[in-house]
Structure 1
Amino acid sequence: MGWFTRLKKKNDAAVSTEGMTQASASVLETKVDHSTLNGASVHGNQGIFLIYNYLQQDFEAKGYDDALVSPDEGYKNDNIRLIRYDLEILIHQVKTYHDSLMKDMEFHIQSRGRAGLVDLVDELKIKQTDLHAHMEKVHEFERSLQSDSGLCERAILAYKRGFMKGMASITQAHLLSKRF
């Protein structure tokens, strides 16, 4: 690919993102950046790393802020259910992505094997092994979500802790600071 072709592709990508929102444009830019890795391991906004990024959010701060908005037990329980549902949706998205990637990988392994590209096939098989490991971790996340254990439960506990801190903060500010 020549320099002018690369420059044209970058300009085309920039023009096509003008009408998008800021968030969708940054997602597109991230995907464009990752696609230039030429087969290197992609970490960040794909596959299992989406789940890790979600679970690393500051759920304690979210719980705290939610308690300041509405210190109601029903509101807390609804938000906990939303965290679980969001994680469930994310797990399904990642499973679909991994299944599609596995099919593509199997096709390339077969077709490149027929073409006699032995080293490339070996490299693809290593990637396939990594993908199998990621798929098993996603199944672990799914099981831990269903059984309320593991890293998924960590997010819920952090949210609950933050919510309790927010409720305690309201009490501190409104009642305990008053003199009798």
Structure 2
Amino acid sequence: MGWFTVFNKKEMPAAASEPQHALTPVVAEPKVDHAQLNGASVHDSQGIFLIYSYLQQDFEQRGYNDALISPDEGYKNDNIRLIKYDLEILIHQVKTYHESLMKDMEFHIHSRGRAGLIDLVDELRIKQTDLQAHMTKVQEFEQSLASDRGLCERAVLAYKRGFMKGLASITQAYLLTRKF
């Protein structure tokens, strides 16, 4: 074997060389765009970051497309309600996740404290304060959703704006371009 054949060999991916069990499902890791996260913490694709991800969707484009499909005020209002309901479901999921994580963290703090792992307990307490801050922020999201204010209102406003642009586009395409 020559020098060039060593470099031309294609390596087999590690996953292909390991045998898979028949009953073990293959789960792909979630794709996280780290450029979008702006230095997010350990739970990049979980917890409060799911809410931020939802709120950063392009609701304006969604509203525009919906207006082209059905330029009806009732359709628009129904879709706004769906946006709010989806956000409410997501907030409840995140709250449940945070509460469960807090219980796990408290257990580990107590058990590792009894074991004398002081540095680990201190590290866990720092993470616990971060989690408490996230839980407070989720509560603020829940309140802002109930009062139609804050970041939650941004999604609704963007959707309405897109819907209006869609309506205007329909009018321009069908009526304003016609010659009389």
1:105 Cα offset (Å): 0.1
Alpha-carbon distance between aligned partners in 2 of 1:51 and 1:174, rounded to the nearest angstrom: 39
Alpha-carbon distance between aligned partners in 2 of 1:72 and 1:89, rounded to the nearest angstrom: 26
Aligned partner of residue 111 in structure 1, secondary structure: helix
| Residue matched to 1:107 | 107
Alpha-carbon distance between aligned partners in 2 of 1:47 and 1:142, rounded to the nearest angstrom: 14
Q: Which has the higher helix share?
A: 1
Structure number with bigger Rg: 2
Deviation beyond 6 Å, 4+ runs, structure 1: none
| Residue matched to 1:35 | none
Cα offsets for 1:16-55 (capped at 9, x unmatched): 12xxxxxxx54xx129xxxxxxxx9424320000000000
| Residue matched to 1:161 | 161
Q: TM-score, normalised by structure 1?
A: 0.81
Q: TM-score, normalised by structure 2?
A: 0.81
Residue 16 of structure 1: which of 13, 25, 30 is its match? 25
Residues 29-48 of structure 1 aligned to structure 2 (within 5 Å): 29-30=29-30, 41-48=41-48
Instruction: Assess, with a 3 A threshold, how the Cα gap between structure 1 residues 118 and 12 changes in structure 2: closer, same or farther.
Output: farther
Q: Specify every segment of 5 or more residues in structure 1 that has no aligned partner in the other structure, as ranges.
A: 1-5, 18-24, 32-39
1:104 Cα offset (Å): 0.1
* Residue identity (%): 76
| Residue matched to 2:74 | 74
User: RMSD between aligned alpha carbons?
Assistant: 2.3
Alpha-carbon distance between aligned partners in 1 of 2:174 and 2:59, rounded to the nearest angstrom: 25
Instruction: Assess, with a 3 A threshold, how the Cα gap between structure 1 residues 102 and 43 changes in structure 2: closer, same or farther.
Output: closer
Aligned partner of residue 57 in structure 2, secondary structure: coil
1:7 Cα offset (Å): 6.7
Letter of the 1:140 counterpart: E
| Residue matched to 2:175 | 175
Q: Specify every segment of 5 or more residues in structure 2 that has no aligned partner in the other structure, as ranges.
A: 1-13, 32-39
